[in-house]
Amino acid sequence: MKVKSIIRIIFNLILGGMLVYGGIMKFDKPMPSPTAIVEKVQKGEAVAPNTEILKIKNYIFGMKQTGFFWEFLGIVELAAGILLISQVFSGVGALIALPVVLNIFLFHLFLEFEETGELLQTAGLLLINLVLIGFTYKTWKSLVYDKKILSLG
């Protein structure tokens, strides 16, 4: 049982640390104007060297150009990371982190598949996230499966 607790603490720190770092990086650079890429295209400037890079830039630029979503994503990453690092609220942190980590993994799977290192790293983070949720299964299983609600009599 002690080994399980140590693994859980280490996984919380790894995933939480990565999310805190990613959340802070969302606020690192100034936001481009909502029309920055469109203006570059209209001027005839190169936006990306190839279609794959253009897809990545458009995806990230789409979140940034809303004026709020990129920052919102950073706040969610920070919140989930802090909850995971706290150890006390790590179960909630793992549940909040799951859609974010899944999205990051899918981004790398479909838009940066050739970046094997990053793909493996994000797959590892997704696996850690799923293991952490599994550790707290007894706590949240009644939210997913409740025999009283399912019985009709």
How confident is the model over 83-140, as pLDDT tens digits? 999 999 999 999 999 999 999 999 999 998 889 999 999 999 999 999 999 999 888 8
Identify the CA nearest to 129 among candidates 87, 99, 89. Answer: 99
Q: Which pLDDT band, with edges at 50, 70 and 90, does 153 fall under?
A: low
How far is 116 from 119, CA to CA, in rounded Å?
5
Rounded to whole angstroms, what are the CA distances from 153 to 141, 145, 146, 147?
22, 17, 14, 11
How far is 97 from 87, CA to CA, in rounded Å?
14
Contacts of 150 (CB under 8 A, 6+ apart): none
Rounded to whole angstroms, what are the CA distances from 103 to 15, 122, 132?
15, 10, 17
111 burial class (0-12, 13-18, 19+ CB within 10 angstroms)?
A: middle
Q: What is the mean pLDDT of the chain?
A: 88
Provide the whole-model pTM.
0.83
Tell me the per-residue pLDDT of 36-66, one tens digit each, with 9 for 90 and over. 777 777 777 777 788 888 788 888 888 888 8
Across 69-84, b (16+ Cβ under 10 Å) vs e yields ebbebbebbbbbbebb
Q: Is the pLDDT of residue 152 over 70?
A: no
Residue 134 has which token pair?
């599994």
Q: Is the pLDDT of residue 80 over 90?
A: yes
Q: How many CA atoms lie within 13 A of 10 on its CB side?
A: 6
